[in-house]
Amino acid sequence: DAGVIQSPRHEVTEMGQEVTLRCKPISGHDYLFWYRQTMMRGLELLIYFNNNVPIDDSGMPEDRFSAKMPNASFSTLKIQPSEPRDSAVYFCASRRTEATNEKLFFGSGTQLSVL
Amino acid sequence: ILNVEQSPQSLHVQEGDSTNFTCSFPSSNFYALHWYRWETAKSPEALFVMTLNGDEKKKGRISATLNTKEGYSYLYIKGSQPEDSATYLCASQHDYKLSFGAGTTVTVRA
The dihedral through the CA atoms of A51, A53, A57, A61 has a sign that is: positive
What's the pLDDT at A41?
83
What's the pLDDT at B27?
87
User: Chain A partners of B100 at a C-beta cutoff of 8 Å?
Assistant: 35, 42-44
What's the pLDDT at A2?
78
Q: Which tens digit of pLDDT belongs to each residue from B66-81?
A: 999 999 999 999 999 9
Interface test with A, best of B49, B50, B98, B99 (most A CBs within 10 A): B98
Say yes or no to pLDDT of B1 above 60. Answer: no
Kindly report which listed range (A33-47, A87-101, B18-32) carries the lowest average pLDDT score: A87-101
Tell whether A104 lies on the interface with B, counting CB pairs under 8 A. Answer: yes
What's the pLDDT at B2?
61
Distance CA B93, CA A50 (A): 16
Say yes or no to pLDDT of B34 above 80. Answer: yes
Angle A92-A103-B51 from CA coordinates, rounded to 5°: 140
What's the pLDDT at A42?
86
Furthest C-alpha separation in chain B: 42
On average, the pLDDT of chain B sits at 93
Q: Which tens digit of pLDDT belongs to each residue from A15-71?
A: 999 999 999 999 999 999 999 998 888 899 999 999 999 999 999 988 999 999 999
For chain B, which residues lie within 8 Å of any Cβ of chain A, measuring from their own Cβ? 31-32, 34, 36, 42-46, 49, 51, 89, 91, 93, 95-103
Distance CA A111, CA B53 (A): 38
Backbone angles phi, psi at B99, to 5 degrees: -110, 120
Interface test with B, best of A103, A106, A110, A111 (most B CBs within 10 A): A103
Say yes or no to pLDDT of B95 above 60. Answer: yes
Q: Which tens digit of pLDDT belongs to each residue from B41-66?
A: 889 999 999 999 999 999 999 999 99
